[in-house]
Structure 1
Amino acid sequence: MDGELFPRSRTEVAPGAVHVPDWLDARAQRTLLDACRAWARPPAGLRTVRTPGGGTMSARQVCLGWHWYPYGYARTVVDGDGAPVKPFPAGLGELGRRAVTDALGTDAAPAGSAYDIALINFYDGDARMGMHRDSDEDSDAPVVSLSLGDTCVFRFGNPRTRTRPYTDVELRSGDLFVFGGPSRSAYHGVPRVHAGTAPPELGLTGRLNITLRVSGRSPDAVTIMGDSPS
């Protein structure tokens, strides 16, 4: 935000977990938002995620490359319309590698075009995400998280428990958060979204979170099973 009394700066929240404010400029945010709107259209579009216990996640989701469902990955929307998952764009893989390099350094970036999963979550003002770990992948490559739209409180914890210690970080539109290394399996969640805080020029009501991951699996693999939500 221009003209802030205390400008935000790059922060290492935990070992291997780095917040980079304003990483995406206004043009890049708009381009990514337009792409998200196209990906959200059916088939294999934005859906409500239902948990095995019969509940629903308040954040709605669309997947690229691999389709995530509780608690694994498939090539089709097995808990929705059954359509093949939309392909993972090469440009997102390049964006993921650049994000890791900028946040953690060149040595932390996975080799080649390894990023092959995008989970895109849409939060309205009432949506939340409980504390969880991203542990359904067969890779320990860093997770890349990009924010568009409304500001949220992002709670970043530790690998051992859903409870304290944790740090609350304010993520605004255009912010980057990367976590890998000793923080790759840390619990994290979104306890609050500040409705109506998106940049007016973006034209988005709500918050979009684009999470990029490395599956660690062959493109010919059918399913990846895990034990934690996205």
Structure 2
Amino acid sequence: MTDSSDADFSDPESLSLDTFAAAIDHTVLGPTTTLADVETLLDEAADHGMNACIPPCYVAEAAEYAPDVTLATVVGFPHGQHAPGAKRDEAERAWRDGADELDLVINVGRLLAGDDDAVQAEISEVVAAVPIPVKVIIETALLTNDQKHRACAAARDADAAMVKTSTGFADGGATVDDVALMSEYLPVKASGGVGGYDDACAMFAAGAERIGASSGIEILGGHPDADA
């Protein structure tokens, strides 16, 4: 995972441009994404010092194309309804293909049904299968606050590295209130609807330590040192 141990995200306006960039997962995950789209994203990430988050089918090619870019991919995406073993296998394949980090979608239906043990067990299985950080996407727009607490507790107890707000494929994305709630449990990746520098600053101030966005360049363009 990108080293941001010295960064004070609670005061985002104090972050250098380089530190700000290193906390952004520049993202392309839509259903029409091509390898050319991924390569463009990787070029942008490399040029600006960002990470990249891409579909799993392109991880091996991306790792070869841009070996110096921290590469995240998704598991069980976008709805989280894969069988647990399929998620484990997908995670292992992504790691072997060259992924540096994984963003795992929980099974929201299991959580809504009250089967928190199954949610935690599935996360634990993926975490145990790979030697790289696992961020857990809880899809906040579909959950009540109580359910958000339970999802974050499951991720924490399963030894996940981070919790993430959203896939971007449900109505609604990251909110300041959700980030604050989630940060009680684990570091937070705010994703979904973060479109500019001010949005990102608000998420950092609320407790986020990472931003997932397709608008990484636009976010960095608002930094005071962007044109320096």
**TM-score normalised by L of structure 1:** 0.30
More RCO (CA 8 Å, sep 6+): 1
